[in-house]
Amino acid sequence: MPEPEILVVGLGNPGPGYEYTPHNLGFLALDRLAARHSIRMGRLECRAEVGMGVVEGKPAMLAKPQTFMNLSGQSVQGLLEKYSLKPDRLMVIYDDLDLPWLSMRVRPKGSAGGHNGVKDIIRCVGTQEFARLRLGIDPGHPVQDAAKFVLAPFKSGQKKELDELLDAASAAVESMITQGVEKSMAAVNRRAPGSDREEI
């Protein structure tokens, strides 16, 4: 297997208790992407569960940091350094409470927007200049306790929708790899209703 040209990171928390929760959408989307491209996950490197393979013709490493969400940057920085990849070769998938459930946003760079996992990646990598795919989890009604909400299991009615979202998220990452982030923004963001708030 050739050295990876791209590092795709899904964010979440390790352990079965967190698996099907909004805060683990990054993990779930990465697993779906791995399955679509027959990439076997499970090896541990730089405190992340990783898999190597080819996504849309590009040698890629898929990674799920096992450090718990708020320390995700340690794994990401380690993998970038180990494989001599610059942050412009990094793509991060994560949940976003500022976007409606089932919506997606592709961005070429930007702030953490309050997401602690992304905040730690920015801190460790030393730049905001990396691509990301944000997956909306806003339920459409006021959330009194955001920390509790993102760690609560998905509702039964969301399970079928979740399956469709994971396929759409995988397709969005594939588009980011083949078409580039700018073209993917035009396609993916146009289809996604939701927040007008821009990352800065």
Active-site annotation holds for 23: yes
> What are the start-end ranges of the E strands in the chain?
6-10, 43-45, 48-55, 58-65, 90-100, 104-107, 131-138
The backbone region for 27, taken as left when phi is positive above 0, alpha when psi lies in -120 to 50, beta otherwise, is: alpha
Could you give phi then psi for residue 195, rounded to 5 degrees?
Answer: -60, 140
Identify the CA nearest to 181 among candidates 105, 72, 122, 96.
105
Q: Which amino acid, one-letter code, is at 138?
A: D
| Active-site residue (options: 23, 37, 115, 141) | 23
Q: Which residues contact 36 (CB under 8 A, 6 or more apart)?
A: 170, 174
Q: What's phi and psi for 44, nearest 5 deg?
A: -100, 125
Catalytically active residues are 23
